[in-house]
Amino acid sequence: MKNLLVVENLTKAFEGLVAVNKATIEVKEQSFTMLIGPNGCGKTTLINCCTGILKPTGGRVLLDGLDITGWAPHKIYDVGFVRSFQIPLPFMGLTVLDNVLGAMHNKGESPFRAPFHRFWRDKEESNMEKAMDILSRVGLQQHWNLPSMSLGAAQLKMLEVAKGLASGARLIILDEPIGGVDPASAEEILTHVSALKKEGLTFLVVEHRIDIAAPFADYVYAMELGSIISQGTPNQVLNDPKVIEIYLGKGVGAC
Ligand SMILES: Nc1ncnc2c1ncn2[C@@H]1O[C@H](COP(=O)(O)OP(=O)(O)O)[C@@H](O)[C@H]1O
Ligand SMILES: [Mg+2]
């Protein structure tokens, strides 16, 4: 499989603090690639630089060969690269279905076309079918009519994935998808993500609950103090003495 995402020598400095230091990662198409590392090591900053939320100080970000370094987030979203946040941010007052529909394009959004329902009614109907299909693929179909605020933590994370799918994403970054979720629901989330991967999607998953997430990963990168210190299969990385030291040597509580 080809590399869908290539991050080359990415650096991000905040004043004197180098949060990401020449990090290079490759995410193969249709893979579940995981980025691990203790709190504060630069994981979120790295993905913020990839998705346009922060401008990198140096290095490049390539999506399927296209140089997207420094692009605005909405332009990156338009080329099929989306991310979820550590804390899900749906429109809480809207239903689950409306949140998914909101992530889709519809010609009726244009103020010039909006009054002419017949021009966009077909699209609205097909979007509705597509949204219900997406909800069934993430296990939320029976909740379609509930306000998003009534969902539990795990379901809110899956709603983020559903919105990504609705936007036509090819590559989805999940920032701590199982953070704050009980182990059984965490397994369920990762099982859905694995099934979506088999359908052709690509995931870069930032996670520090590595015991639960590692069995689902194809490839793992470990970060410490802004640098990639280890990479390989989950077994290789989790048995790397450098990784063992950052997780165990300095106390698991630091993760
Ligand atoms: N906007 C910012 N301004 C200044 N420092 C930041 C900012 N965002 C993150 N940092 C710092 O960069 C480092 C990496 O943070 P972060 O990427 O959030 O780590 P992680 O996601 O691995 O926990 C931390 O020292 C953090 O305090
Ligand atoms: Mg983080």
- Looking from the CA of residue 15, the nearest atom of ligand 1 is 4
Nearest by Cα to 183 from 156, 217, 153: 153
Strand partners, 66: 63
How many whole angstroms separate alpha carbon 82 and alpha carbon 62? 14
Q: What was the pLDDT predicted at 234?
A: 95
**Is the CB of residue 192 below 6 angstroms from any atom belonging to ligand 1?**
no
Ligand number nearest to the C-alpha of 179: 2
Q: Along the 255 residues of the chain, how does pLDDT read in single tens digits?
A: 899 999 999 999 999 899 999 999 999 999 999 999 999 999 999 999 999 999 999 999 999 999 999 999 999 999 999 988 767 777 788 899 999 998 887 666 666 666 767 666 776 788 889 999 999 999 999 999 999 899 988 899 899 999 999 988 999 999 888 888 899 989 999 999 999 999 999 999 999 888 899 999 999 999 999 999 999 999 999 999 999 998 766 544 444
Paired with 13 in beta bridges are 18
Q: State both tokens at 181.
A: 């979720």
Fold (CATH) for 1-80+170-255: Rossmann fold (3.40.50)
Rounded to whole angstroms, how far apart are CA atoms 62 and 197?
A: 20
- Ligand 1 in reach of 44 Cβ (< 6 A): yes
Q: Ligand 1, residues 12, 14, 20, 209: which to mutate, most atoms within 8 A of Cβ?
A: 14
Where along the chain do its domains lie?
Answer: 1-80+170-255, 90-164
Ligand 1 contacts CB of residue 38 (under 6 A): no
Residue 62, strand partner residues: 6, 67
Residue 251 is predicted with a pLDDT of 47
Q: Do 45 and 56 contact (CB within 8 A), yes or no?
A: no
Residue 222 CB coordination number (10 Å): 24
pTM (2 decimals)?
Answer: 0.89
